Structure 1
Amino acid sequence: MEKPKGKYAWTVTVGTKGQIVIPKEARELFDIQPGDTLIILGDEEQGMAIPPKPAFSEWFRRIFGNGKP
């Protein structure tokens, strides 16, 4: 089965302290560097998501900025 272009899936293991390791391929693809801050979004029905960094800035601006989309 061929995967859809631009779609990825990885598995991670949660450690005893609740930490996860982001796979190297994902860190490289999304330019995640040591010390970066990520946002984790959660919905009890739909699950969790970690959006890419550019989206974080946009959502932050919408929530805390001038309120315009």
Structure 2
Amino acid sequence: MAGKMIEGPDGRYIVGTVKIGEKGQIVIPKDARDLLGLEAGDTLLVLVDKAQGIALVDNERFQRFARGVLAVQQDTEE
């Protein structure tokens, strides 16, 4: 993408657009990879909502979030 990232509210950014290749692959823009500290070999979780589209989530961050949710649920059940 030519130009710079556009910073929005609450830590959200517009980083650019990507095209889907013949094999269904996309390239995550370098600015986005740098911002999130993503490197080759990292694992991302793909979330899909028919109404809102696709979200890519860093798998490690999602696992920490999920463990936190489960811990809170356990605390409320005890």
2:56 corresponds in structure 1 to 50
Gaps of 5+ in 1: none
Deviation at 1:35, TM superposition (A): 0.3
* Aligned partner letter, 1:27: R
Structure 2 residue 53 is matched with structure 1 residue 68: no
The number of equivalent residue pairs is: 65
Instruction: Name the structure with the higher strand share.
Output: 2
Deviation at 1:36, TM superposition (A): 0.3
Of structures 1 and 2, the larger Rg is shown by: 2
Gaps of 5+ in 2: 1-5, 73-78
| 13-22 vs 50-59, which moves further | 50-59
In the alignment, the residues of structure 2 paired with residue 44 and residue 62 of structure 1 have an alpha-carbon distance, to the nearest angstrom, of 27
Instruction: Name the structure with the higher helix share.
Output: 2
Which runs of 4 or more aligned residues in structure 1 lie more than 4 Å from their structure 2 counterparts after TM superposition? none
RMSD of aligned Cα (Å): 2.4
Say whether the 8 Å CA contact 2:18–2:28 is kept in structure 1.
yes
* Aligned partner letter, 1:68: A
Identity within the alignment, %: 42
2:3 corresponds in structure 1 to none
